[in-house]
Amino acid sequence: MNAQPERAAQAGGVEPVGPSAIVRIVMRPMTKALNPIILKLAGRRHFSMAAQIRHVGRRSGRTYTTPVSARRTGDLVMIALTFGNQSDWARNVRSAGRSSIRIEGENYDVTQPRIMNRQEAKPLVDAAFSPMERAGFRMLGIKQVMSLRVVSAEHMPDATATMHATKTG
């Protein structure tokens, strides 16, 4: 009997895929120090390196915000699964079936999370990410992406414009 379908059923219909060796060895130790800094910049206009995904914990019910590498293409948001499909945020979004994300100063409500492998997602990833970003994904050994369907978009001014308006008003 093949164990792969059984493992996929345990992971909510998705075969568990963890991070590559380079991500586990090099990037994971740095995330504790870098994530708070990246999170402050993520999602802002003109900071395309990272977006902010907001998700609700499966067990705690708490709202979390996590920096991710995400781009919008048409009515989809594509997110590189740098730490695999078993990261807490990815599991939370799949469990809830929805989330919200802030990309370059724009907020989007998103639904229908779908895990896609590199081959399946290639046309969408090519449309969403630059050649340099895609080369980085290959170097990091990223095997999957998550696609999310945009259900609503709300333009939100970036934090500096809001702070400036508050201080001067």
pLDDT digits (tens, 9 = 90+) for 36-59: 899 999 999 989 889 999 999 999
164 lies in a domain?
yes
pTM above the 0.75 mark? yes
Predicted pLDDT at 161:
36
**CATH code of the domain covering residue 37:** 2.30.110.10
Predicted pLDDT at 12:
54
Residue 47, judged by CB atoms within 10 A of its CB (0-12, 13-18, 19+), counts as middle
Binning pLDDT at 50, 70 and 90, where does residue 35 land? confident
Q: How far is CA 92 from the centre of its chain?
A: 12
> What is the SS3 string spanning the chain?
CCHHHHHHHHCCCCCCCCCCHHHHHHHHHHHHHHHHHHHHHCCCCCCCCCEEEEEECCCCCCEEEEEECEEEECCEEEEECCCCCCCHHHHHHHHHCEEEEEECCEEEEEEEEEEEEHHHHHHHHHHHCCHHHHHHHHHHCCCEEEEEEEEEEEECCCHHHHHHHHHHC
Binning pLDDT at 50, 70 and 90, where does residue 25 land? confident
pLDDT digits (tens, 9 = 90+) for 112-133: 999 999 999 999 999 999 999 9
Number of domains the chain contains? 1
Does the pLDDT value for residue 154 go beyond 80?
no
109 lies in a domain?
yes
State the CB neighbour count (10 A cutoff) for residue 22: 12
7 lies in a domain?
no
4 lies in a domain?
no
Give the domain range for residue 80: 12-168
